[in-house]
Amino acid sequence: MSIQLYKMLHFTGLVLAFMGLAGVLALRWGKNEETGKRLLFALTHGLGMLLALISGFGLAAKLGYTSGLPFWVIGLVIVWILLGASFALVKRFSNLAALIIIWLGLLAIVGSWLALMKPFQD
């Protein structure tokens, strides 16, 4: 598989992961308890996370990082874990929606900074 295809899958996964969180947050914030609707966004988030993870490690392998991952890739894995943990935040603390949106925005900024600037790489 080409690097471009991996990147397409990576970005699609990230978009779906963030979209799923936003959907669950909006439903909870609006006090909509319909589980079918929440499930759709929960599945969108889960599928996106899986896609982002697989394509992320696919990209790392394509770039030749097979052992001893560099700092920026480890950082991306941590951002990915925090993104997954954010699911609990949107479910439980939807009354703090504005703060959660800022938090998710920060995750996107840190993630793209790590991937594009590759800090601490010689």
Q: Which residues bind ligand HEM (CB under 6 A)?
A: 10, 14, 52-53, 56-57, 59-60, 63, 73, 76-77, 79-80, 83, 107-108, 111-112, 115-116
Question: Do you know the residue count of the chain?
Answer: 122
Contact 48, 80 (CB under 8 A): no
CB of 49 to ligand HEM, least distance (A): 9
Cα–Cα dist 83/85, whole Å: 5
Nearer Cβ to ligand HEM (43/108): 108
Nearer Cβ to ligand HEM (39/50): 50
